[in-house]
Chain A
Amino acid sequence: MTPALRTALVIGGLLALAPLVLPIVHLDVSIVSEVLLFAIAAMSVNLLLGYTGLPAFGNAAFFGLGSYGAALSIKYAHVHFIEAVLVGTLAGLVGGLILGPFLLRRRGIYFGLLAIAFGQVFYFIAYRFTSVTGGEDGMNFARPYVGFPNVHFSLNEMSFYYVALAIYLGIVALFSVVAVSPFGRTLVAIRQNEVRVRYLGINTDRFIFVALLISSTIAGLGGAMFALLINFAYPLTLDWHQSGDFVLIMILGGAGTIWGPLVGATIFVIGKDIISTITPLWQIFLGALFIACVLGFPKGILGSIAAFRDRRALVGAASAPDAQTPLPRGTS
């Protein structure tokens, strides 16, 4: 058993047992579901920003498309749970197919600018197309039946959590495979030096496009599950502020790491829940967290731990770990 697999089993086991300890700390199981879904969204950012080095500041577009895909299909086509998730996931993929060709045209901060701007299109459509989407009020619905043949039940919060956990662990497994695959290695190489990768005869545009499609599909899946968790879809899930939250979660946990998004999402979602009950000023804390994170620990929690371990291992060696590259290179 490899160390990575052992870590996965331990974390998976802890997450599976989490509902048992929640009553002790007065947390609802739905909030842990939310943690998992935000971690999924942050992983979609991670693939583009953490691995490939593209500032993906528009991923809320795909997340929100997933939300609306699920909500609209439930409201107008009366589909079951599984179909709603599939429609939402597909909506994310379609969003990636639409925006991809535009985003691909630029790199660096210009990519970020395009991602922010184009991401906002869907927000305005949802906000303005009131007759279909409910506009600013959003749209609520009753959580549909699961929809296996002859089985008719609706998921309660506990069973929803385990569905979300299964999806999350599935995506973690996917990332673990992708990270060590030639495809994943190429993405990391593109982050480090895209020009050199091109000199090797690799069509980097194609790699980035595929990464974008995987990212948008995962974000769509997370968004669809999020709408089904809260039985509600609303325009702010498509907004650039939401994209910023996803980026923060990813940076907070550790860019380019497998478990970073989970760590970041845990702090973000549970921190928001606790602080919001104490004071209405959550947004100030959030903004301060952005600033502190960028100035204080840009490698994120897991990245800083890894760097600390590297330094310990390097004691006596001539060179310190490469300080020029803020993103951790490993994929731990």
Chain B
Amino acid sequence: MLEHLGPELFNGLVLGAFYAIVAIGLSLIMNLTGTINMAHGSFMTLAGYLAFAMISRGTSFWFALLVAPLLTVIVGVVVERTLIRPLYKREPFYSLLLTFGLSLVAEEVFHLIWGANGVPLSPPANLSGTVQLGFMSFPAYRLFIAGALVVAIVALALFLTRTRFGLRLRAAVQDTEMIAALGTNTQVLYMVNFGLGIFLAGIAGVLAAGLLGLSPTSGNALLMPAFVTVIIGGMGSLFGSIAGGLLIGFAISLTTLFIPAASEVSMYVLMAIVLMIRPRGLFGEEGIFG
């Protein structure tokens, strides 16, 4: 059993990176606007299906990996401007309810267009082998995913901390009224912020489709662990989401190895323990959303 430990831990790392990137997107949207985006999983699935549609029409995987998330962002921004925007002034649970309704509609639409059963989205041939790294061999696609997700997270961190726009975004999380009074158009912030979260979801959606399969509900399967990630890592903390995602990834991969039946429950046990010790999550800041 122990010889499986290395590969299983690596699987946990990849899984954890997915949870982290989905959680970061959720957290971005939640922090600025108080919206719990229940349709986040649907946007992932949408990106996956768009990539599938493009690849089956002959485009390359790389093209689809970039363009499918961008198309998803367009859909996301339209949804945000038309449906979610009117709710910013109301209690946050209305936007939760609305995005929940959206996810129900989306699931059925995917079902209608692409069928109830999963469709195959295979990664490109040069990523289908394994890579030998001395002590053990890694499946190339998983290695690529881990790398791509790290790049995406680092790029986001640089954007948030090193650009004027990123600084405004972070300032708006602290005090939206003040940043508006200083002359920033907060509606643009809301829109770009939402698009950013959806872009991360889109990339994760395309990558996950090649690894975990693609079906009308496949994105939603990643949504619940991402919620748990946000809770464990702490709201409003990029680093928290990464740590939380990896923790859950390892917890799930280890329980899959030793007690398979408890693989989902393990993350809830982890969440309960973290909440008992630190109610605001590992890296959460006090005062954000009580």
Contact = CB atoms under 8 A, between A and B. Distances in A.
A241 to B, nearest CB: 8
Given A107-B290, A113-B227, A117-B271, A290 B92 contact: no
Interface of B: 30, 34, 36, 38, 83, 86-87, 90-98, 100-109, 112, 224, 227-228, 230-231, 235, 261-265, 268, 271-272, 275-276, 279, 289-290
Contacts of A287: 101-106, 108
Contacts of A55: 92-93, 96
Given A120-B224, A287-B103, 8 more contacts: A102-B272, A112-B96, A116-B224, A117-B231, A118-B272, A283-B108, A284-B108, A289-B101
Contacts, number: 127
Nearest to B276: A102
Nearest to A116: B227
Contact of A284 (B109, B228, B265): B109
A281 B106 CA distance: 12
A125 B106 CA distance: 27
Interface stretch (A15-23, A243-251, A301-309): A243-251
Contacts of B100: 244, 290
B101 A247 contact: no
Contacts of A248: 97, 101
Nearest to B264: A124
Q: Is the interface of A mostly helix, strand, loop or mixed?
A: helix
B97 A109 contact: no
Interface stretch (A78-86, A172-180, A215-223, A291-299): A291-299
A152 interface: no
Contacts of A127: 264
B265 A121 contact: yes
Given A109-B92, A112-B93, A294 B265 contact: no
| Highest count of chain B CB atoms <10 Å: which of A108, A117, A247, A290 | A117
Contact of A298 (B94, B107, B272): B94
Contacts of A145: none
A129 B261 contact: yes
Contacts of A241: 104
Contacts of A251: 97
Given A109-B30, A113-B231, A284-B105, A291 B224 contact: no
A94 to B, nearest CB: 16
Contacts of B92: 55, 108-109, 112
Given A108-B290, A113-B36, A281 B265 contact: no
B36 A294 contact: no
A114 B96 contact: no
A49 interface: yes
Q: Which 10 A-B pairs have the closest CB atoms?
A: A290-B101, A287-B104, A287-B105, A55-B93, A124-B264, A105-B279, A107-B290, A287-B101, A294-B98, A283-B108
17 contacts: A49-B93, A102-B272, A106-B289, A109-B93, A114-B275, A116-B36, A117-B231, A118-B271, A118-B272, A121-B265, A251-B97, A281-B108, A287-B102, A287-B106, A287-B108, A290-B97, A298-B94
A244 B268 contact: no
Contacts of A116: 36, 224, 227
A110 B219 CA distance: 22
Contacts of A288: 101, 105
A288 to B, nearest CB: 6
A57 interface: yes
B146 to A, nearest CB: 25
A281 B216 CA distance: 14
B10 to A, nearest CB: 24
A326 interface: yes
Contacts of A290: 97-98, 100-102, 104
A273 to B, nearest CB: 18
